[in-house]
Amino acid sequence: MTSPRSRSISALIATLCVYGALVATHQGEFWPFSIYPMFSQAGHPWSRVVVHEVAADTTDGSWPRPGRPLALRPLGVKANDVAALTAAVMAGDLGSGRHLQRLLAAPLAQHDLLVVRIHGRLEADTVALIHEPVVLLRPDTLLRYPTPAP
């Protein structure tokens, strides 16, 4: 009969081996195991998104301009998810566009929405921010820049 101590050590080491094997073969993540890789790549440029209501319909064929920023928190939507879905849409995954429309269905019923990507990078001793409108969302349509203006 093994002692509690040696049984505990065996259980800990076995868990550690499983942990190691799972994170090593799954890019550092297999819930609840993780090597916590966030923030490990310091100084790299990043991209985030902010969703704006569309200012007003344009009639001259140009893309609508961003109006008031849309607060996602009251909608119970995470900015991380919108950023990930937008990245997938930009990579050509239209299924992610449908996800985006579904997550933002409530505000889309009121306004068209413009997803603006913001790129940040270090330039000397400042952080440069570049705003780039990327996706126009309507309840039943999704248009990607640089698609010709609607």
Partner 1 sequence: MRLLRSLWDNLFDYDRPETPGEVVFFRLFEGFIAVFVVEQVWRWGLYARRLDVLAVPHGLGQYVDLGWLLRHDLVLVNAAVITVLMGLGLLRRSRYAYLAAFLLMHLQYVARFSLGKVEHGANLLGMTLLGLSLGLLLFDAPRVQRRFTLGFTYFFVGLGYALAACSKLVGTGLHWADGRHLWLWIQEKSIDGWAQTGMLAYNALQELVLSAPGLATLFLALGLLAEASAPLIWWRRYRMPVLLALIGMHVGVYLIMGIQFRLFVLELILLALPWAAWIDRWIAAGRSSVWSGFIPRGHPHPAEGSPPGSSGKPTP
Residues binding partner 1 (CB under 8 A): 4-5, 7-9, 11-12, 15-16, 19, 26, 28-44, 46, 48-51, 68-73, 76, 78-85, 87-88, 93, 95-96, 98-99, 102-103, 118, 120-122, 125, 127, 129
Q: What angle do CA 119, 123, 128 make, to 5 degrees?
A: 35
CA distances from 92 to 133, 134, 145, 148 (A): 16, 12, 12, 16
**Which is nearer to partner 1, 4 or 148 (by Cβ)?**
4
Q: Is the peptide bond before 37 cis (omega within 30 degrees of 0)?
A: no
**Which is nearer to partner 1, 8 or 149 (by Cβ)?**
8
Least distance CB 110 / partner 1 (angstroms): 14
- Residue whose entry in the numeric block shows the structure tokens 């921010």: 129
Tokens coding 3: 């002692």
Tokens coding 115: 């997803």
**Which is nearer to partner 1, 6 or 59 (by Cβ)?**
6
Least distance CB 144 / partner 1 (angstroms): 17
The CB-side HSE value for 75 (13 A sphere, CA atoms) comes to 18
Least distance CB 148 / partner 1 (angstroms): 27
Least distance CB 113 / partner 1 (angstroms): 12
Tokens coding 107: 């505000």
Least distance CB 139 / partner 1 (angstroms): 16
**Which is nearer to partner 1, 7 or 58 (by Cβ)?**
7
Q: Identify each DSSP E strand in the chain by its residue range.
A: 29-30, 33-34, 46-54, 66-69, 113-123, 126-138, 141-144
**Which is nearer to partner 1, 87 or 143 (by Cβ)?**
87
